[in-house]
């Protein structure tokens, strides 16, 4: 897994959480109040941004021994949570995601710093594209709460594309013929580098695709910036 993750930019772990743990995660999300700018609910998608800030009861359920051992392998020197999102692609959703890289990080404020930009300001807060070195330090762990394959929106990825840095939009179409689809069973996880080209199709069947998307990093930002979703109470667990 480690060799594949380094060379191809992704890996699938089929059994990170047990069925009982998955059921507890779903229960906790489904009973959370759904209001405020971090919640988005429509016929096609339900999403919660700043997930652990909005639903703090999730963290004790997520921080299993398996997750902590995985983070220890990925970040031997320790790490911190950088971002957490919940996505639900309901049955029959016609929502698709075009080919892209995850280039933005969430920060606490704007700052005039070399290598940082462009910036965005939305209701949920400020985000910025940092230097490539920061993005190369981040690892995304997508925890699947449902069986997921090509029929209900599994991610498609271009293996090895994370090693190209920030890819110009004009070059993306030439790379996507090498794409592969990443099926993940419920309780499994997909590891992904943010610079990996990825996309997802519309859901074609009656099954949902519920995912907890966690981004971890060990890099520290310049003193003028802070990771917006970094939680002090997690430091002792992840370090």
For the chain, the domain total comes to 1
The predicted pLDDT at position 195 comes to 98
8 Å CB contact between 50 and 38: yes
Q: What is the mean pLDDT of the chain?
A: 89
pLDDT tens-digit readout, 27-67: 999 887 766 667 666 544 578 889 998 899 999 999 999 99
The predicted pLDDT at position 98 comes to 92
The predicted pLDDT at position 95 comes to 66
Range of the domain at 224: 2-238
Question: Which residues have C-beta within 8 Å of that of residue 76, sequence separation ≥ 6?
Answer: none
- Which of 84-88, 143-147, 182-186 has the least mean pLDDT? 84-88
| Cα 49 from chain centroid (whole Å) | 11
pLDDT tens-digit readout, 120-134: 998 888 999 999 999
Q: What is the CATH number of the domain that holds 150?
A: 2.60.120.620
79 vs 32, more confident: 79
């Amino acid at each position: 897994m480690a060799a594949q993750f380094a060379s191809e930019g992704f890996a699938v772990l089929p059994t990170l959480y047990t069925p009982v743990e998955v059921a507890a995660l779903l229960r906790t999300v489904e009973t959370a109040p759904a209001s405020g700018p971090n919640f988005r609910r429509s016929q096609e998608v339900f999403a919660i941004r700043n997930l652990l800030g909005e639903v703090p009861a999730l963290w004790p359920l997520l921080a299993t021994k398996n997750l902590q051992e995985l983070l220890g392998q990925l970040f031997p020197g320790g790490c911190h949570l950088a971002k957490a999102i919940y996505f639900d692609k309901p049955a029959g959703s016609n929502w698709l995601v075009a080919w892209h890289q995850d280039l933005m990080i969430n920060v606490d404020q704007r700052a005039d710093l070399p290598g940082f930009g462009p910036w965005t300001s939305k209701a949920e807060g400020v985000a910025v594209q940092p230097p490539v070195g920061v993005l190369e330090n981040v690892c995304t762990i997508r925890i699947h709460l449902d069986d997921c394959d090509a029929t209900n929106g599994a991610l498609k990825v271009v293996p090895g594309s994370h090693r190209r840095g920030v890819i110009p939009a004009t070059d993306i179409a030439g790379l996507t013929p090498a794409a592969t689809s990443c099926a993940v069973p419920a309780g499994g996880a997909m590891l992904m580098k943010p610079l990996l080209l990825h996309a997802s199709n519309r859901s074609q069947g009656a099954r949902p695709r519920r995912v907890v998307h966690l981004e971890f990093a060990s890099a520290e930002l310049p003193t003028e910036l802070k990771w917006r979703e970094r939680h002090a109470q997690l430091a002792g667990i992840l370090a």
